[in-house]
Amino acid sequence: MATETHFHKELDELKENLLRMAALVEGAIRDALQSLVKRDSELAKKTFEGEDRINAMEFAGVLVISTHRLIFEIGKAIFRLLLPRYFQKSSFHTTF
């Protein structure tokens, strides 16, 4: 049960980070367009500098998702390996 709670907590954090990242991207697009319209090189430079923060958030999100996917795949592989052994060792026999 603790693993499930931990998973849901990470999922909630991922969702919050995704919303924060979306807000940053929205602001960056607004600033980029504004810098073009007003020909404001300082605003354009500031917009480019903020891109690193967005990229770092994106990487962290992908890492969390990839980690959970890997754990899930390992669990499936272990299940596939152990299930036949369980039925071989148990007294479970079917007759048809």
Please indicate whether residue 87 or residue 1 has the higher confidence score (pLDDT): 87
pLDDT at position 17: 81
**pLDDT above 70 for 44:** yes
pLDDT at position 42: 93
Mean pLDDT of the chain: 78
pTM here is: 0.57
**pLDDT above 60 for 96:** no
**11-20, 49-58, 83-92 — which is least confidently predicted?**
83-92
Quick one: average pLDDT of 20-32? 87
Per-residue tokens: 47: 């917009």
Q: What b/e sequence results for 26-39 when a residue is b if at least 16 CB atoms lie within 10 Å of its CB, and e otherwise?
A: eebeebbeebeeee
